[in-house]
């Protein structure tokens, strides 16, 4: 089911959680299950701490200290959003946030 994505108020955007897609300006962007889980955390429009993203990535496993894997997924998501002038900005030792590139 499509829902408005208010995070991108400067774009016409909708999201479909069931199919793990984001539709921006009538262009479909598909995400893997893991990518979409991380993206949903970022769609709240706030800085998302590394710990929160790592827990989502490793689904509450004890060994959720692997930042390199998190960086890899963020890079994948970033590349899919970049064509729409959306960036995932890394805030050193804190977390990530979605921003407009403009």
- Domain map of the chain by residue range? 2-100
Helix intervals (H) in 62-101: 67-81
Q: Which residue has the tokens 């990535």?
A: 57
Cβ-Cβ contacts under 8 Å for 60 (sequence gap 6 or more): none
pLDDT of 3 > 80? The answer is yes
CA end-to-end span of the chain, whole Å?
A: 30
40 burial level (CB within 10 Å; 0-12, 13-18, 19+):
middle
**Could you tell me the pTM of the whole model?**
0.87
DSSP percent split of the chain into helix, strand, coil, nearest 5: 40, 30, 30
For domain 2-100, the CATH architecture is Orthogonal Bundle (1.10)
Cβ-Cβ contacts under 8 Å for 64 (sequence gap 6 or more): 51, 54, 55, 57, 58
Q: Mind listing the pLDDT tens digit for each residue in 23-82?
A: 998 999 999 999 999 999 999 889 999 989 988 887 755 555 577 889 999 999 999 999
């Amino acid at each position: 089911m499509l829902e408005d994505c208010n995070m991108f108020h400067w774009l016409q955007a909708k999201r479909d959680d069931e199919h793990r897609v984001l539709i921006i300006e009538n262009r479909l962007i598909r995400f893997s299950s893991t990518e979409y889980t991380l993206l949903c955390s970022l769609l709240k429009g706030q800085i998302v701490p590394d710990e929160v993203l790592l827990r989502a990535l490793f689904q509450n496993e004890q060994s959720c200290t692997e930042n390199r894997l998190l960086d890899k997924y963020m890079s994948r998501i970033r590349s899919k959003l970049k064509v729409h002038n959306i960036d995932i900005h890394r805030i050193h030792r804190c977390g990530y946030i979605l921003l407009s590139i403009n």
